[in-house]
């Protein structure tokens, strides 16, 4: 009987941590949140723990507790660095861990994003990815000024009108990813000749117009950046319901989902697999990672007390779209080992406070999983696709060599 495949692990980095009062912890570094070294240190810590990759949060609007408006709170972290540029800063400080910045498809052009992530893949020597995100917040649309959107009340989220608008946002995101992927392929791998003797730097026949025409974009191409080292950097997306699950199944290599128990995880995985088959990708590897917010300490009581202390500092209990775990690394390992039987292939852990919960992941949870034979003891690959067991894809525009004629009998 073959052993179960190893778990994949990622961490989601956001400011001083996912709890809004994390910046007030004794070991927090709030004065460094806008310095490159802070982010490079966090990514390096993730690499020390042999993690598959980190994601870096981003948005176009300032953080707010109000979905539709910017709040006036001054007791929480506000402001952030650009995720793609932050990833580029962290890339040279590491050699193996993948780096996946968040990009907002609703307000950026796929042409510009394709070359930014391709450039990141070169800077990271094949370890780049992206997390595609949509924006439905009116104040973010007002910042850009190209179009508007109506406010959404959570009480109306399941109405036909709001669901139709959400479907449009995710349809745009799917087209966005398709354009980005085609632009990555618009240069064949051997398009660069660099032959000084003949004066030919590129083979112009190996640069291709993508001629994409869709509901949201018309893009001719080609890119101005050669095909990335991975061919296709890894595309990820977060989903909470059927419409974003369709995006994951149609366009992503990794989907992040937010079950709150094993049964919920199994139902989500089954739905994504059905959507994957409907999209014609049944044979493709699409990882489904469970997202969890984690408070990790030496004892369950200590973790729960720390969470309560942070809640008190924030003035309200912390809530999340994801399951919130407060306990020991061993207890978390039990949960991860259990939920994997629902079909999850990995997890993206959101450290409640940085650096505390990140180091508990890398220095306590990882050894616990390794002792159980559930996680790698060394990196076996040098690229993010390699960590995830994803092959380097063929270029869709490259001419297929004709099959050799059968030998004469």
Question: What is the domain extent for residue 160?
Answer: 8-387
Would you state the pLDDT for residue 3?
63
Q: Characterize the bridge pairing of strands 200-202 and 192-195.
A: antiparallel
Supply the DSSP string of 157-205, one letter for each residue: TTSHHHHHHHHHHHHHHHHHHHHHHHHHTSB-TT-EEEETTTTEEE-GG
Domain assignment present for residue 408? The answer is: no
Q: What is the β-pairing status of strands 218-219 and 212-213?
A: antiparallel
pLDDT averages per 10-residue partition of the chain, 409 residues: 80 98 97 97 98 96 84 92 97 97 93 97 98 87 79 79 88 96 97 93 95 93 97 98 96 98 98 97 97 98 98 97 98 98 98 98 98 98 98 90 42
Residue 151, classed as helix, strand or coil, is: coil
Query: Does the residue 401 lie in any domain?
Result: no
CA-based nearest residue to 251, from 264, 268, 265, 238: 238
Specify the pLDDT at position 402: 46
- How high is the pLDDT of residue 5? 86
DSSP 8-state class, residue 230: T
Judge whether 94 lies within some domain: yes
Q: What is the dihedral of CA 59, 213, 230, 288, to 10 degrees?
A: 60
User: Residue 405: inside a domain, yes or no?
Assistant: no
Residue 154 resides in a domain? yes
Q: What is the total count of domains within the chain?
A: 1
Tokens of 66: 């109000």
C-alpha to C-alpha distance for 328 and 332, rounded to whole angstroms: 6
How many angstroms separate the CA atoms of 22 and 299, rounded? 19
Q: Two tokens at 63?
A: 């953080």
303 neighbors 328 (Cβ within 8 angstroms): yes
What is the three-class DSSP state of 65? coil
The full DSSP string for 127-148 is: -BEEEEE----HHHHHHH-S--
Residue 11 has a pLDDT of 98
How far is 270 from 20, CA to CA, in rounded Å? 33
Strand partners, 54: 11, 99
Q: What is the CATH number of the domain that holds 118?
A: 3.20.20.30
Beta carbons of 352 and 28 less than 8 angstroms apart: no
**Residues 203, 208, 210, CA angle at the centre, nearest 5°?**
170
**Overall residue count recorded for the chain in this entry:** 409
Q: At 253, list the tokens.
A: 């290599």
Strands of 2-119, DSSP E: 8-13, 53-56, 98-104
E strand residue ranges, 207-253? 212-213, 218-219, 234-239
Decide if 354 is inside a domain: yes
DSSP label of 363: I
Q: pTM of this prediction?
A: 0.94
Q: Looking up tokens 């009108």, which residue turns up? A: 161
* Two tokens, residue 343: 């079909």
Report yes or no on 404 lying in a domain: no
- Tokens 């306590």 -> residue: 364
Q: Report if residue 1 sits inside a domain.
A: no
Compute the distance between CA of residue 83 and CA of residue 62 in angstroms, rounded to an integer: 14
> What's residue 42's pLDDT?
98
């Amino acid at each position: 009987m073959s052993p179960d495949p190893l778990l994949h692990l990622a961490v989601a980095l956001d400011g001083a941590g996912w709890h809004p009062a994390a910046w007030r912890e004794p070991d927090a570094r709030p004065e460094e949140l806008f310095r490159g070294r802070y982010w490079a240190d966090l990514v390096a810590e993730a690499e020390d723990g042999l993690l598959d990759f980190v994601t870096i949060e981003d948005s176009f609007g300032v953080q707010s507790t109000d979905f539709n408006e910017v709040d006036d709170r001054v007791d929480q972290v506000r402001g952030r660095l650009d995720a793609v540029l932050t990833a580029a800063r962290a890339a040279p400080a590491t050699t193996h861990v993948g780096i996946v910045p968040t990009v907002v498809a609703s307000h950026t052009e796929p042409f510009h994003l394709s070359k930014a992530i391709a450039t990141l893949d070169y800077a990271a020597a094949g370890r780049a990815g992206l997390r595609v995100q949509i924006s439905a917040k009116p104040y973010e649309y007002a910042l850009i000024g190209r179009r508007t959107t109506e406010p959404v009340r959570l009480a109306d989220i399941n109405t036909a009108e709001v669901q139709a608008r959400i479907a449009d946002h995710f349809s745009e995101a799917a087209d966005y990813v398709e354009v980005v992927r085609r632009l990555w392929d618009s240069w064949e791998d051997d398009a660069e000749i660099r032959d000084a003797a003949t004066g030919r730097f590129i083979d112009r026949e190996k640069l291709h117009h993508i001629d994409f025409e869709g509901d949201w974009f018309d893009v001719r191409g080609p890119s101005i950046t050669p095909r990335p080292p991975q061919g296709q950097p890894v595309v990820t997306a977060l989903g909470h319901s059927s419409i974003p699950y369709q995006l994951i199944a149609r366009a992503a290599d990794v989907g992040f989902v937010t079950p709150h128990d094993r049964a919920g995880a199994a139902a989500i995985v089954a739905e994504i697999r059905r959507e994957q088959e409907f999209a014609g990708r049944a044979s493709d590897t699409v990882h489904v990672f469970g997202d969890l917010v984690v408070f990790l300490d030496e004892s369950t009581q200590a973790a729960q007390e720390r969470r309560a202390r942070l809640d008190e500092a924030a003035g309200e209990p912390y809530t999340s779209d994801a399951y919130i775990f407060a306990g020991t690394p061993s207890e978390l390992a039990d949960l991860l080992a259990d939920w994997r039987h629902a079909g999850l292939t990995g997890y993206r852990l959101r450290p409640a406070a940085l650096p505390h919960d990140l180091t508990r992941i890398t220095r306590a949870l990882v050894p616990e999983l390794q002792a159980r034979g559930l996680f790698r003891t060394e990196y076996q690959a040098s690229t993010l696709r390699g960590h995830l067991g994803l092959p380097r894809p063929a270029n869709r525009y490259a001419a297929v060599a004709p099959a050799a004629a059968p030998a004469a009998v």
